[in-house]
Structure 1
Amino acid sequence: MKITISTCALNQWALDFTGNLKRTRESFRIAKEQGSTFRLGPELEITGYGCNDHFLEQDTITHSFEVLAELLQSPECQNILGDVGMPVIHGGVRYNCRVIFYNKEILLIRPKKFLANDGNYREMRWFTPWMKPNVVEEFKLPSVIRQIIGQETVPIGDGIISTANTSIGTELCEELFTPARRVDLIREATLKCGGVYLYANQQGCDGERVYYDGSALIILNGKILAQSSQFSLNDVEVISATIDLDEIKSFRGGIMSRGMQAAQSDPIPKIHTKIHLETKVGQFTDPISIKYLTPSQEIQYGPACWLWDYLRRSKQCGFFLPLSGGIDSCSTALIVYSMCEMVYKKAVVEKVLSDIRKVVGNEEFIPSSPQEICGLIFHTCYMGTENSGAETRKRSKDLALKIGSYHLDVNIDGIVKSFLFLFETVTQKKPVFKVYGGSATENLALQNIQARSRMVLAYLFAQLLLWTRGRNGSLLVLGSSNVDETYIFTDSSLRGYLTKYDCSSADLNPIGGISKVDLIEFIKHMQKQPGFALLSEFIEAPPTAELEPITADYVQTDEVDMGMTYSELSTFGLLRKINKLGPYSMFKRLLSDWGSFLSPVEVTRSNIKIAAKVKRFFFYYGINRHKTTVLPPSYHMSSYSPDDNRFDLRQFLYEGWSWQFNKIDKTLK
């Protein structure tokens, strides 16, 4: 028996009920156009997933039912079985639900049974899991629904829909995907048990740090039949497949263990309908190969899509980036250029062209290249001082020229000297750098005034640059601090790698969840593109803040200042967050990981170094943790994101680690 089914990836936005309704309707229209009789949508598609504490407001529930009422009446939603996501209050309890309907009749409300409640997700703050397996109750529909369809009640609970020719169950996110990857789990589940699985997903940032990558899937008996794009500018993407229901029955009939388990399992409540989902025309869909992006491609496209969502929805007119000539700001600039490339290629789509015209303020604009888009919306600036090198200035200029950004090259020594002149006038004291005999306190202050002056100047340029070019509007300031720099910011003389309120303070930070190691691999990936050989200079240059004078005996570099490499720093971050290791456990783990191939003498020396580095990491992590409270919103990519507001819920004030460090010393001895 032939049936055509659809799932989708939608760029929904938190509380954008008007836009979410429009995109949901469009997905129904496309699904019907593709011959489908069943359409599945993403979790909480009516409200947007990222409403967070707005889910606690009654308005959110009320407007969700109002949107549902519109869908029930929409011509696009007739003669097709629909499954949409929205919050529902039942018995005074708020649930994350699926609502399944057909031709102005709601068939079932299915609450989520297992909630995502770690990392970026706090679903149990807003919702309660359905705690009654295989139980269906009666839900009284609100008046806005009753007045339209005349239906008073609907079943709510753990049930499935039984049509004339098949049964349809639904599950939400955490119920299937804990703890392995979604593709492998879905494929394995359908391979072992048979059946067809439709996976719907959001595509977009939804007003949050997380970007949902799309990549909706249809899998039949372990074979992938359809996959939507991953990281795209599509607001609505629908995929469909035509399958043979008899193929599922035959497949399941050959799995004896499944049959025995099914015969012993408790019956699931069924909502019986006379709906017939058979398709009369079309060919069966052949299996395809799954498409995966490499980590470097995910860095190239993910943050780019995230920036595009923010730019077009914030009503701003572009970005401003302090371009230092180092790896981090280079990566950020390349991500913006990648965004411009994606917009240029998608400008044939009416919605994308309309959005870019609004951003540039020209209703007749038709881009001729990614560089032309960059020149209009992306503004970069090298802010040099007497401590800056000619090499970094040249790298910044060359990169800006290649990607087409509107570039400025300024010297901020005058600003810095004005601050210091005022300080000296008031205090009668003149601070000097350490290399000239100054103290660590003086050295840090002289570095930080350079960094913080750049932040003030960045916001001045962001607000007025478009005005100088005869255009209206302002720019979003981009930060470029990688995830590793937010763990250990200073060395023993308190040199800053993330100075609080320096140019790391920004409106958005597209690389704030990405490690230095991954950024280097990303630049190597971008270097392979035609015309980007210049990126080798960024890779080969030693990372440096360029905040101290260069002398015959001293050149400032990041890894020397920090007392560890970025690779080691990335390892510490993973062990602390993902493995949940404190100082002592991390020390013991690294004794094994880093000392297994050394001679006894080398092991002794290595253990001393490991102990020192672990204590160094946690010492500076503790005294600098407060800086994470003011981090700009960052694209979430690493599993050890330091954002203490949403992801890493640890305190920001520490007394110290004396007990833990003493334990390390005793073990070392």
Structure 2
Amino acid sequence: MNKTQIARFGYFRLAVASVEHRIADLEFNAEQITSAALRAKKQGCHCVVFPELSLTGYGCGDLFFQSILLERTRQVLGDLKKMTRHEQMILIVGAPIAQGGRLFNCAVVISGGEILGVVPKNFLPNTQEFYEERWFSAAADRTADEISLCGAMVPFGDDLLFRQKELPGCVLGVEICEDGWVANPPSGQMAVAGATVLVNLSASPEILGKQDYRRQLVQSQSARCLAAYAYASAGPGESSTDLVFSGHSLIAENGQLLAETERFSFATQLAIGDVDIDRLYNERHKNNSFAASSAQNAYRKIEFNCAEHAHTPLHRPLPCHPFVPANLNERDQRCEEIFALQTTALAKRLNHIGVRNVVIGISGGLDSTLALLVTVKAFEKLDLDPQGITAVTMPGFGTTTRTRGNAESLIDLLGAQCRIISIDAAVRQHFADIGHDESVHNITYENSQARERTQLLMDIANQVGGIVIGTGDLSELALGWCTYNADHMSMYGVNCGVPKTLVRYLVSWCAQASFCGETRRVLEDICATPVSPELLPPDEAGEISQVTEDHVGPYELHDFYLFQVVRHQFAPRKVFFLARQAFAERYDDATLLKWLQVFFRRFFSQQFKRSCLPDGPKVGSVALSPRGDWRMPSDACVQLWLDELEGLHVG
């Protein structure tokens, strides 16, 4: 994948470096910075951020007052300036810079053989182990907006932003160490003024527990600013007279950690991440609170160019299943949180309407299993008798022995009240009433069964004085893979915020975490059963003949597409690009494109079903309720999206 392709999708490749260095050895430090910059360039990086005072070392102490150190700093900056003339990349290094009779702790931004600007530190820590006010002045104390440096007049101040010409949405804002730890960091104002990539040159000493706090700080600030935040920290080459430095450098984007270095390595380390400028812009466009903020300061914007480097595949997490936790350590916590959201929502609804009975259709499939588990948990929360749950299994023309057996066993094992009602006779009477030939297995044949089941559930709910719990999931709603006024309808839909890939994951987790013996066996077999509405007769062996994913496509692809289109608002070509990256080993380009076209066609054509959804809880960052997250006309045209896909080349 070459640079032109990746840039077209709005990515900016960024590296943070924790370099091997020595206190006051500027020649050695400059060599390490140059070496790290060239390593980063080989990996296609546009920008490399180095730690605070990386040219001299943070721990120079009173050596900062030595004229020879300051003079040599300027000479070394000149050498780095010349290096970038040939390498065409942007370097941000830390250095002490004198101006107006004062000394400033600065970030020097270098690109294209020029020093683009010098940003002095705003906040100087002067407590506990920090004594910066002994040597440095704060940015507010500067007396000029330019300084003479390396033979040129250079912009100087904390009001500088740096914009990439080839990717105008990529705007860099720079702060230094303590600036990012204060109550009102300068990066917040920079973000409001347009900065999408915030960088922090740091020398953060390590103490017990600080690693996690630092990581949370970087992720939180990136989320608050709807930006990327790159934090380059000094390593153990710093003085250990009283402190230890670990070189913990990180890159986060809108709360997500993209990359970080290992700690306590004396060798130079790089953490590289592809920042998605397109994603950040989309997030800002839809966040009216961000748009309503206003920058208190005016900023000078300085443009820079980036060379067209060759690129390896994306340097950022890109899970195939974005709705499912990638880290197994998060599994229990995430699943417990989801169940808490679903059960609390249902418990609130039951309390509000004052009912102690519910009705739920159980097919032996994933969705109804999850809905039943949630309902049982909600009854436990309310201290209600599980016999108030009337679980109805309604075998029809396509029901297999496997799914029916699992449905009946699960109802019994969970202590709910079981009712078994065959729909065969009722549906045949309906066929006779409307004049439909039972041997014609068309949509009328299928949907008549689905609507008969819903009628039964609604009428039983009247019998028991309860409500019908809906079982349909978010993926089915996105694709419209539900029968209008049948499984599409209920009094409360507990799964409406849970996509299919996550449904399977949740049921599997329940089997392992909450149950044992026969209940676990049944749940595991349900997870292993192909997804099917079971509306067509079984095959000759009595097995499911109607596999949903054979007709509508793999749910893992549709859930991936749903996340990229609704959560990030990406254009079809970018969704296809990301799918190629994520599923390179599993699907060829033609398959990915085929199901992406199906996704867009169905997503647009089936909006009318989402426009009249029953109530149900939002669970994750993607939801399709017409009363909340997703407002879309039912007659919107899909052609614009399909036309873009038609222009893509596969193979």
TM-score range, shorter chain: 0.3 to 0.5
* TM score, norm. by length of structure 2: 0.47
* TM score, norm. by length of structure 1: 0.46
